[in-house]
Amino acid sequence: MDKIEIEGGKSLAGEVSISGAKNAALPVMAASILSSGENLIYNVPRLRDISTFGKLLAYLGMGYHQENGEVILQSANISSIEAPYDFVKTMRASVLVLGPLLARAGEAKVSLPGGCAIGARPINLHIIGLEKMGAKITLTEGYIHAKAKRLKGAAVYFDMPTVTGTENLMMAAALADGETLLENAACEPEVVDLADALTSMGANIRGAGTNIIRINGVSNLRPLNYRIIPDRIETGTFLVGAAITGGDVKINNCNPEHAEAIINKLKETGTNITSEGDTLHVKGPDKPTAEDIKTMPYPGFPTDMQAQFMALMTLAQGTSLITENIFENRFMHVAEMRRMGADIKVEGSIAKVKGVELLKGAPVMATDLRASASLVVAGLAAQGTTIIDRVYHIDRGYQRIEEKLKVLGARIRRVKE
Ligand code: EPU
């Protein structure tokens, strides 16, 4: 298993380019199931999760090819309606094939995801929504088996906003008979990107980006020719990397609007951030001031940035309260940060982070994707050497993070095993 080794204490300086958004690319790739032909998707990041998803689509009978930032998916033939456990267990987002497979093939069999490192993460809301649309769903031997000759438009109210749940139902509704109304839908930019991609295929969707989405089903959809939005979480991670090292970094090819909650909060800590077009210019403070955050659905502060922001707060002036409202077990990084000298106490969903003078490098373990990113930014600021084990987690969601950081002057290297 590869490790990442960081010699901390060097300010980041220079320019970095943001890759396409993983969590937008995955549902857009799933949307190709709804067409029959050659789908072209641009600005797709080169990540492990993307190749895993491509392999799943290939398992379903589609052609999959990725060259640099371009993905080509041939969707003329779907020869299997099953997403096996082996895929779903390595990547929960595999569940995104459920809605489009059911709409295209009239049947889908998808392994039920198990628990994961950040929480139980059930998919009951996906299932309830599809049932409302007329699907007959059974759960057998760990699989969700859904059948519907043609799905029917329906009114679906989500008990809580769910990103992939909204995406699954939007894809299913795109080819359903009649109008589907999704209420309390997720408003994330990735949901809007999927709606834009589906619209470019000929779907009739209004309201994406608000919590009420209306979809009028059509009888068929054209293949994709679509460019994915920049990754707002990668953007946020580099913003924090610059802030925590007192650096001076230009972040290119990003969408500052999508990162507004992160930018505003970082400004409150004393970080200087200006934006011009698709570029952000960030200058870190000598010492950040402590600020509280509460993770919320978009446009609130994203749960996917909670760990990285906590890394910054470990070195802040004062005490910060960090409340995790989306997932029940997303503080796995706390114990690792403590090994680096951080002063953090957790009570239920709240972490109390008392800023310390300095972090000291230590061997630490990555437990999930964003936790590993937080340990990388902590390592950049720490005194001495930090060795992060199990970096396959970070490879799921950050394209060549160590190479991008090296260009910014970080003393970082990947140790192959
Ligand atoms: N939930 C339910 N029932 C459901 C669906 C969700 O109770 O049927 C709960 C979840 O347990 C959670 C909350 O609703 O407490 C929100 O979960 P959501 O469904 O929105 O999360 P997701 O769609 O599984 C996506 C991202 C995550 C990101 C969350 C929240 C993708 C592929 N994944 O997950 O990204 O944290 O939204 O914004 O889009 C990551 O990239 O590191 C990552 C974990």
Per the DSSP assignment, residues forming a β-bridge with 363 are 387
Ligand 1 centre and the CA of 233: distance in Å? 14
DSSP, collapsed to helix, strand or coil, labels residue 191 as: helix
307 C-beta closer than 6 A to ligand 1 = no
Q: How far is the CA of 286 from the centre of ligand 1 (A)?
A: 35
- Report the residue among 112, 164, 306, 333 best suited for mutation to probe ligand 1: largest number of ligand atoms under 8 A from its CB: 164
| pLDDT at residue 22 greater than cutoff 70 | yes
Burial (CB < 10 A; 0-12, 13-18, 19+), residue 350, is middle
Give 74-97 pLDDT, tens digit per residue. 999 999 999 999 999 989 999 999
In the sheet with 225-227, reading across from the earlier edge strand, the strands are: 63-67, 70-74, 38-42, 225-227
> pLDDT grade, residue 344 (50/70/90)?
very high
CA-closest residue to ligand 1 atom 40 = 304
Q: Is the pLDDT of residue 348 over 70?
A: yes
Protein residue with its CA nearest to atom 6 in ligand 1: 162
> What's residue 115's pLDDT?
63
Q: Is the CB of 122 within 6 Å of ligand 1?
A: yes
Residue nearest to atom 20 of ligand 1 (CA): 162
What is the rounded distance in angstroms from the CA atom of residue 151 to the CA atom of residue 99? 10
Question: Distance from the CA of 152 to the center of ligand 1, in angstroms?
Answer: 25
> Would you say the CB of residue 121 lies under 6 angstroms from ligand 1?
yes
Atom number in ligand 1 closest to CA 96: 32
Query: What value does the mean pLDDT take over residues 390-400?
Result: 91
pLDDT tier, 117 (very low <50, low <70, confident <90, very high otherwise)? confident
Does residue 119 line the site of ligand 1, with CB under 6 A?
A: yes
pTM for the predicted model, two decimal places: 0.97
Confidence bin at 222 (pLDDT 50/70/90): very high
User: What would the DSSP string read from start to end of 363-412?
Assistant: EEE--SHHHHHHHHHHHHHSBSEEEEE-THHHHTT-TTHHHHHHHTT-EE
Ligand 1 centroid – CA 121 distance (Å): 7
Tell me how many degrees the CA angle 393-397-398 measures, rounded to the nearest 5: 100
33 ligand 1 Cβ < 6 A: no
pLDDT value at position 121? Answer: 82
pLDDT in tens, 273-294: 999 999 999 999 999 999 999 9
List 76, 116, 120, 139, catalytic entry: 116
Could you tell me if the CB of 308 is within 6 A of ligand 1?
Answer: no
pLDDT band at 113 (very low <50, low <70, confident <90, very high): confident
Q: Whose CA is nearest to atom 14 of ligand 1?
A: 162
Atom of ligand 1 nearest to the CA of 123: 8
* Mutate which of 47, 98, 121 for ligand 1 pocket (most atoms within 8 A of beta carbon): 121
For residue 364, the model assigns a pLDDT of 97
Whole-angstrom CA distances from 243 to 74, 159, 247, 416 are 43, 37, 6, 29
* Parallel/antiparallel/unpaired status of strands 272-276 and 248-252: unpaired
Q: How far apart are CA 326 and CA 303, in angstroms?
A: 7
Among residues 293, 233, 279, which one has the least CA distance to residue 47?
233
Is 116 an active-site residue?
A: yes
How confident is the prediction for the chain on average, in pLDDT? Answer: 96
Which protein residue's CA is at the shortest distance from atom 29 of ligand 1? Answer: 163
Residue 118 has pLDDT above 80, yes or no: no
Ligand 1 touching residue 282 (CB < 6 A): no
**Statement: residue 379 has pLDDT above 70:** yes
- Residue 171 corresponds to which tokens in the numbers above? 């894809």
